Amino acid sequence: MTAEVYVSGFGVFSAFGFGPEALFDGVFSGTPAFRAVTRFDVSHCRTGQAATYPGADGEPGLATADVAVACGQQAIAMAGPRDPAGLAVVLATKLRAPSTEPELPAEITERVADRLGLGRPRRTFVNACCAATNAIVHGAQLVRTGVTDAVLAGGAFLVDRQAFALFDSAQALAADGQLRPFDQDRQGVLLGDGGAMLMLESGESLRARGARPLARLAGWAMTDDAFHVAKPHAQGAGVAAAVTRALHRSGIGPDRLAYVNAHATGTPLNDAAEAAGLHTALGRHTEQVFVSGTKSTTGHALEASGALEAVITLLAMRSSTLPPTAALRRPDTRHPLRHVSAPERAEVPYALSLNSSVGGLNAAIVLAAA
Amino acid sequence: MTTQQASELVTSAVVHAGLQLPQLPGFMASDFAPLVYAAVRECVGDARPGHLLEGVGDRTGLVLGSRRFDTTSLELSVEHVNRGRVSPILFYQVLPTAVLGQIARDYRLTGPVSCVAVTGDARAEVLELARLTLADRDAEWVLALTVELAPDPARAFATADLVRSPPGPGRREEP
């Protein structure tokens, strides 16, 4: 049994606040959400900037589970009436040391599911920056293979001292306090709070309850570079393979792709590899496909970034507006892309969201207008 | 709920920590990565010509399951942050994807790679994920791995199960 997979609702959180309106106003105007971090001491770090939500700074503060629950509630409300007990859940979250987070990572998912009254299966992905895209892919597989007819899939992340210090130690943070994907002067990444849950649902389920989809999840693929523990393949071999396979599953060629939301971390190696991989996968169509890196406004939400960016991609399709790459002044010329440097109007019948992570992992999803 | 798609268990392995566990260059802080790597080696052979996945690397996925993953490296990173000097090596060593990237590189595996956290039976969970991956035709072979560290290092272990799609008209020729 195979089923088509649709997105019927979503909930989202970022440094701009809760809900799609706050996200749209910030990301689609190209306004970076970075500010001085007050959540913990950053005085010895390369930068003191991150895209943190002020409402999450207090004590005891907003927790990852709260973000996931809030996003799940938004998604359920948007999708329309149905029994939450019939929903599976797949959550991407961060691994933490037991001394800082006594709860098992999968117990966070259980707690989120219990608070929302969700059913099973309940799964937890922790594969770094591809975790949320993996959660969406897994949710799609659950629906497509008939294990469930609807699932909440996404991730949640709040910037914390551990993640900040580890990125700082690797000299991965942008010392200039700007996240400038694909810019010749890019200096690195900045972290950001983020979360999103997408309701993925079979066409049969939608028809049965008379609901309309927001988009179709047309394709997906995950690959590995098989190249290096920490560095991306210089020519983006794994990126190219993920994009090619996701387009193939979608039944379209690169000529029909209008927009790519790139992983685009603003680090010299990653952006170069991703651009090279996009060239390989899209070929001569590369010059027609719009590309933007929205971490330039939201920051990098690590395990949750794939879900946050899937929602941004969905908003681009629904609004026929492309979000820009903020602070892009001197685009890298080695693998030129059709950058969105200012908000742009465009019809988006098909769009792709792409993520990569340590270990050479790559994950791509293709959304189609419903 | 489980997927109805069948899968064929090809071979399995279990390894334990201890003096016999080979070190893994680049992963010195913890037994986590050496355990996972050793389980893969025990299951499919050394990463040189003749291993079980030779020729099917583009159709092979990796799934790693655990309750807590690498608590040793995670706790070490907390110690480093608390004292204000963090080893940059920990940036990737705390991530379970790092050792999977090394396995993918050494065995030339370019299929999907997942890490799933569990509360119960990790082996059952990764085998279910493997079945789903096969059913979705994302891969034709999956290395389903689990790993658990323990307060007593001698009780730490990793498992590896190599599963594949059942023979049928949709499957490509074996190597």
The residue to which tokens 């002020």 are assigned: A54
* pLDDT score for B149: 97
* pLDDT score for B168: 64
Contacts of A222 in chain B (CB under 8 A): 61, 111-114, 138
Minimal Cβ distance to A226: which of B71, B104, B116: B104
Q: Looking at this protein, which amino acid is placed at residue B169?
A: P
Q: Using a CB–CB cutoff of 8 Å, tell me whether B114 touches chain A.
A: yes
Residue A172 CB partners (closer than 8 Å, separation 6+): A188, A189, A267, B91
* pLDDT score for B4: 52
The parts of chain A modelled with pLDDT lower than 50 are: none
* Kind of pairing between the strands at A35-36 and A290-292: unpaired
The parts of chain B modelled with pLDDT lower than 70 are: 1-5, 168-175
Contacts of A93 in chain B (CB under 8 A): 117
Contacts of A357 in chain B (CB under 8 A): 95, 97
* pLDDT score for B3: 52
* Kind of pairing between the strands at A5-14 and A17-18: antiparallel
* pLDDT score for B173: 47
* Kind of pairing between the strands at B60-66 and B113-117: parallel
Domains of chain B: 8-164 (3.40.47.10)
pTM > 0.90: yes
Domain A5-208 annotated CATH 3.40.50.300: no
User: How far does the CA of residue A210 sit from the closest CA of chain B (Å)?
Assistant: 26
Query: How far, in Å, are A140, B10, B21, B38, B51 from residue B13 at the CA level?
Result: 31, 11, 14, 9, 14
Phi, psi of A143 (to 5 degrees): -75, -45
Minimal Cβ distance to A230: which of B74, B98, B133: B98
B111–A222 CB contact, under 8 Å: yes
* Kind of pairing between the strands at A350-357 and B8-16: unpaired
Contacts of B5 in chain A (CB under 8 A): 145
Contacts of B57 in chain A (CB under 8 A): 226
- Residue pLDDT, tens place only, B113-149: 999 999 999 999 999 999 999 999 989 999 999 999 9
* pLDDT score for B174: 52
* pLDDT score for B162: 98
Q: Which helix (H) or strand (E) element contains residue A17? A: strand A17-18
A166–B91 CB contact, under 8 Å: yes
Residue A232 CB partners (closer than 8 Å, separation 6+): A225, A238, A239, A269, A270, A273, A274, A356, A360
ipTM rounded to 2 decimals = 0.97
Q: Do A5-208 and A215-369 share a fold?
A: yes
Q: Where are the domains of chain A?
A: 5-208, 215-369
B105–A227 CB contact, under 8 Å: yes
d(CA A150, CA A144): 10
d(CA A369, CA B14): 47
The SS3 of residue A112 is helix
The SS3 of residue A55 is helix
The SS3 of residue A11 is strand
User: How far does the CA of residue B152 sit from the closest CA of chain A (Å)?
Assistant: 16
Q: Using a CB–CB cutoff of 8 Å, tell me whether B74 touches chain A.
A: yes
A104–B74 CB contact, under 8 Å: no
The domain made up of A215-369 has a fold known as Peroxisomal Thiolase; Chain A, domain 1 (3.40.47)
| CA atoms B41, B43, B46, B47: torsion sign | negative
Catalytic amino acids of A? 129, 263, 300
* B64: Cα within 13 Å, side-chain hemisphere: 29
